[in-house]
Structure 1
């Protein structure tokens, strides 16, 4: 029987592996893909961290000094490979988990190959960007051009034609609209919900470095303090067709699970008319897309930046005290059932990597204490 099994060999799984080894345990890390950091390998090419490198490293190994402040995707992948090597982590690859069931002595884990494994403790670290969310609208099937999710997008050449509609205004949607516009495409972006926009830096400091306000004040007070500064910095983007959220950026994350867009140039292109803001989609008739304000336009391709879903019910089954009605863990970083933990399954204001670096040591200490108590 294993001491502890970790499911996933992305940043969370690797951080857990290092921290569990630091507690004297021998974790078995299972990864369904054939490499570590698989999600980062398939992200679009221009992606870079939106948080600075000093606040984005995993426990025990900082990013190299020569790395830029906002580390690009390829260097993040190299860092994850180096992290696994530095801590002697050897995940078992091509090992996809089909089921995990509690038993008296721990957990019974079944792989898709039919192989069974037993472990005294189990930690899920499969991430929040594994299953794309595909929104749909009346007539979508009639659209003659390609309709792809942002997960399948690598570069502008992936989408043929001149006019592209990007659906969604999260960080992926904003950056991919920028990417396509800079490549000479005519880009519209459909924004259904009220938004919050943040600058990448404020007074020369990365926006994530301002989390000190959240430690000092309740989050709504922190939002109120920063609101005038953000208005000064970002301007009145309601004039551009974007509806400002009634909630501040921290409240939007805490209460709605929605991450504000950290602007890296998209807003400037909207102001200059190179990206046109549209409301939500109403229906699609062939290449003609009609929006909620009854305006219409024709497009050659649609890019869905509609986010991801987390649903662990296929593996764990219905566990009302552990998973919510959508299959997402009700909490991360704490034990939700005997011998069961989840690492970084909820969006946070200051980046998932920073949250992983906080949760992984806490979970590892808790797992070590749990196992010690059961063998005492």
Structure 2
């Protein structure tokens, strides 16, 4: 990073992108394809920090690689169909290098708001104020770990969020309570089994469990193909019939299915169906024990809604993530939960040059589609304006001095 003086003498141009994860990289790459420069602000010290620092070691992509590629430059052919965490990170690093994407790291955005008088976005970090006609929010729907409000949560010594979980080897021979039965909860429980731990998985709500593959085909790919020809609810019914043939009825295991089908539920609520990679067989064998909702956390374990009370060595909260947008962006375009108010597929564009990417609840495939649309839209404006100084950077100290002087 250069000095404040260097930045003032050499102003940057184009949209500001907040976030250097897959969404931010995709947006930047698509803009560069149209000849539009951009500036990425990233609060951590690397790209894809969520993947690097908040995922466990044995993670693999849930979907085949062709549904997980970023625009314009695909995942290498020699990678397996379901790349590992480390392979996907190496792909994103190569992607950034290929498109010469160089984010400004350690730039945590504290505030962003639209200046109605000047017609620009003001994006403020601790050190600088960035000004641009366009702002692209690319922090995504999974920016911060979500910790539920459970009675007694602070009493237990040995509680971690799944974002801190790396390997079951850290929990060898332990009795572990895993709170959450989504993909993270299922896969953490499976990993614990492989390291001789005894996981007890809390199932608080209904859940769709689907095989990752059906009859040699990706379940997700199969669903995408069927949706081209059949109504969504019919596709859901077909998926559930095939899932029952492959996995059997899961109700007697304590995994009751919602009344709404898996794809429809995902579209409405964002709740992703679990794609089974082996956990279900361990539930059937009793290696993973299914528990009812937690009533209270105690100093030694937990009390459950069905009256049981058990002791545990560790508790892992596999309770997912939330958007952090409301903490820094001043805009009515987002709800208090940090999601665009305008539903998919129109939620990628707000007013006054505001854009969002990575909030579709449709994974990397949805992110790629949004990045392409955003780049086209901004590029059309860029060509019309043809202004070489759309972004400027003002050191906060100098900005304050000017404010005090007036």
Tell which deviates more after alignment, 262-271 or 243-252.
243-252
Task: Show the counterpart of 1:189.
Answer: 201
Shift of 1:22: 0.8
Shift of 1:313: 1.7
Local SS of the residue matching 2:297:
strand
Candidates 39, 48, 65, aligned match of 1:28: 39
Gaps of 5+ in 1: none
Does residue 213 (structure 1) correspond to residue 188 (structure 2)? The answer is: no
Say whether the 8 Å CA contact 2:335–2:341 is kept in structure 1: yes
Q: How many residues in Structure 1 have an aligned counterpart in Structure 2?
A: 369
Local SS of the residue matching 1:14:
helix
Q: Which has the larger radius of gyration?
A: 2
TM (norm. structure 1) is 0.94
Task: Show the counterpart of 1:94.
Answer: 106
Gaps of 5+ in 2: 1-11, 388-406
Does residue 231 (structure 1) correspond to residue 244 (structure 2)? The answer is: yes
Task: Show the counterpart of 2:392.
Answer: none
Does residue 105 (structure 1) correspond to residue 116 (structure 2)? The answer is: no
Candidates 2, 7, 16, aligned match of 1:5: 16
Say whether the 8 Å CA contact 1:166–1:177 is kept in structure 2: yes
1:298-337 matched pairs, under 5 angstroms = 298-317=311-330, 319-320=331-332, 322-331=333-342, 334-337=348-351
Task: Show the counterpart of 2:85.
Answer: 73
Local SS of the residue matching 1:2:
coil
Say whether the 8 Å CA contact 1:160–1:300 is kept in structure 2: no
TM (norm. structure 2) is 0.87
Task: Show the counterpart of 1:361.
Answer: 372
Say whether the 8 Å CA contact 1:6–1:29 is kept in structure 2: yes
Task: Show the counterpart of 1:370.
Answer: 381
Local SS of the residue matching 1:336:
coil
- Per-residue CA deviation, residues 152-182 of structure 1 (Å, 9 max, x unaligned), is 1111244476100000011111000000011
Q: 1:41 to 1:160 in 2, by over 3 A?
A: same
Tell which deviates more after alignment, 132-141 or 272-281.
132-141
Q: 1:204 to 1:374 in 2, by over 3 A?
A: same
Q: Distance in 2 between matches of 1:284 and 1:34?
A: 35
CA RMSD of aligned residues (A): 1.7
